[in-house]
């Protein structure tokens, strides 16, 4: 039984699973309330001009549709997991367990990864593997302790979507941030006039309606402020072809060592890797990313190939002493 399956089978797993949905339910409740406050309290009950009502509602529903759709896809797109051909066979796990030193472990891992397209390495130049999932890790893949599995091109685990932001839903996540920001700005700007008039007591509608519009303005401004930096940061990461994890710790390459720009192909190519090359699909939350999630075009591919033919092992030999391998022994012993 894999670690992922074992985690799912524990008695508390059901409670934990339910608790993880609380942030998503909170966000969905805020969205549902804002829909009521904007459509009913502001547009239907407060705005007097029919023309203004129609225009406000038309654009509101277009933005809402794109916002809800991208949020839904971010939450419900399954994470990209590692297929069975990346698993380390039982016999090789035994050999890893019995290995007397790092060199032997490294050789076993190199053997297991002989037909796999891996260029990322650990600090000591060893092929990366997950001792929990017992797999060779593809490039940019990381183990998510919340999901309990290795996730392809993992960006981060986001509690607000109860999902890993990863290879399969990154475009949806960036669109979700963008449309959430647009939604908040649109609601704030179109409700500003009525917010001021209610504040001054110029509109007759009183009671709860007044408070719905006041809160609608405050909440949309508050969310817009927090979203603008997050959205801006992810646009920067898309253009640099970097995940959040890679921004904190640069990936290490078989040749060239640690390099934050290892996957950086130039801004347009980086953007297209996530959003695809058909501009008509860029702003719609349908899948259009490039690649398979296992291997990624690299900036210095040709230079790397040349170096590999020459003196590829020099750096690995030099770095051997740096990596503490004790963790492997601790985790592999049952
Ligand atoms: Zn794993
Ligand atoms: Zn996760």
Calculate how far, in angstroms, residue 243's C-alpha sits from the geometric centre of ligand 1. 18
Predicted confidence at residue 312, as pLDDT, reads: 37
Dist CA 166 CA 142 (whole Å): 10
DSSP E strand boundaries for the chain: 129-130, 135-136, 142-144, 149-151, 156-158, 163-165, 252-253, 257-258
Calculate how far, in angstroms, residue 132's C-alpha sits from the geometric centre of ligand 1. 5
Beta-strand pair 163-165/156-158: antiparallel
Calculate how far, in angstroms, residue 163's C-alpha sits from the geometric centre of ligand 2. 6
Question: What's the whole-number mean pLDDT along residues 46-59?
Answer: 91
> Which ligand has the shortest distance to the CA of 137?
1
Calculate how far, in angstroms, residue 19's C-alpha sits from the geometric centre of ligand 2. 15
Could you report the per-residue pLDDT of 149-162, keeping only the tens digit for each?
999 999 999 999 99
Burial label, 87 (beta-carbon count in 10 A; 0-12, 13-18, 19+): middle
Question: What's the whole-number mean pLDDT along residues 184-200?
Answer: 88
Predicted confidence at residue 148, as pLDDT, reads: 92
**Catalytic residue list:** 158
Predicted confidence at residue 101, as pLDDT, reads: 84
Predicted confidence at residue 10, as pLDDT, reads: 63
Positive or negative CA dihedral for 54, 58, 64, 65? positive
> Which ligand has the shortest distance to the CA of 164?
2
Dist CA 3 CA 26 (whole Å): 30
> Which ligand has the shortest distance to the CA of 131?
1
Question: What's the whole-number mean pLDDT along residues 267-287?
Answer: 95
3-state secondary structure of 290: coil
3-state secondary structure of 128: coil
Q: How confident is the model at residue 46 (pLDDT cuts 50, 70, 90)?
A: confident
Answer yes or no: is pLDDT of 275 > 90.
yes
Predicted confidence at residue 177, as pLDDT, reads: 97
Could you report the per-residue pLDDT of 220-268, keeping only the tens digit for each?
999 999 999 999 999 999 999 999 999 999 999 988 888 899 999 999 9
Which of 134, 156, 161, 160 has its CA nearest to residue 145? 156
Calculate how far, in angstroms, residue 272's C-alpha sits from the geometric centre of ligand 1. 28
- The pTM for the full model equals 0.84
Question: What's the whole-number mean pLDDT along residues 32-39?
Answer: 94
Residue 57 · residue 190 · CB < 8 Å: no
Predicted confidence at residue 313, as pLDDT, reads: 37
Strand partners, 258: 252
Predicted confidence at residue 322, as pLDDT, reads: 30
């Amino acid at each position: 039984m894999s670690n992922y399956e074992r985690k799912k089978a524990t008695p508390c797993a059901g409670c934990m699973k339910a608790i993880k949905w609380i942030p998503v339910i909170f966000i969905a409740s805020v969205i549902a309330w804002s829909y009521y406050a904007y459509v009913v309290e502001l547009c239907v009950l407060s705005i007097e001009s029919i023309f203004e009502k129609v225009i406000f509602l038309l654009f509101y529903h277009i933005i809402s549709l794109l916002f809800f759709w991208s949020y839904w896809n971010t939450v419900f797109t399954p994470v990209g997991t590692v297929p069975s051909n990346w698993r380390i066979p039982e016999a090789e796990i035994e050999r890893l367990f019995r290995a007397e030193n790092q060199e032997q472990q490294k050789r076993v891992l190199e053997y297991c990864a002989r037909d796999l397209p891996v260029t990322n390495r650990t600090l000591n130049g060893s092929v990366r593997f997950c001792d929990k999932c017992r797999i060779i890790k593809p490039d940019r893949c990381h183990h998510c302790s919340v999901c309990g599995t290795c996730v392809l091109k993992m960006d981060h685990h986001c509690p607000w979507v109860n999902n890993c932001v990863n290879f399969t839903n990154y475009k949806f996540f960036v669109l979700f941030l963008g449309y959430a920001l647009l939604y908040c700005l649109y609601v704030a700007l179109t409700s500003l006039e009525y917010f001021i008039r209610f504040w001054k007591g110029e509109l007759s509608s009183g009671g709860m309606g007044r408070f719905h519009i006041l809160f609608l303005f405050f909440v949309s401004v508050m969310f817009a402020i927090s979203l603008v930096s997050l959205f801006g940061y992810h646009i920067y990461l898309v253009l640099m072809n970097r995940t959040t994890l890679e921004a904190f710790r640069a990936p290490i390459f078989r040749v060239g060592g640690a390099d934050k720009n290892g996957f950086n192909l130039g801004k347009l190519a980086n953007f297209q890797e996530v959003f695809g090359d058909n501009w008509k699909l860029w702003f719609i939350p349908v899948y259009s990313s490039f690649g398979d999630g296992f291997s990624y075009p690299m900036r210095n591919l040709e230079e790397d190939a040349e170096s590999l033919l020459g003196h590829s092992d020099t750096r690995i030999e030099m770095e051997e002493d740096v990596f503490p391998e004790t963790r492997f022994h601790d985790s592999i012993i049952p």
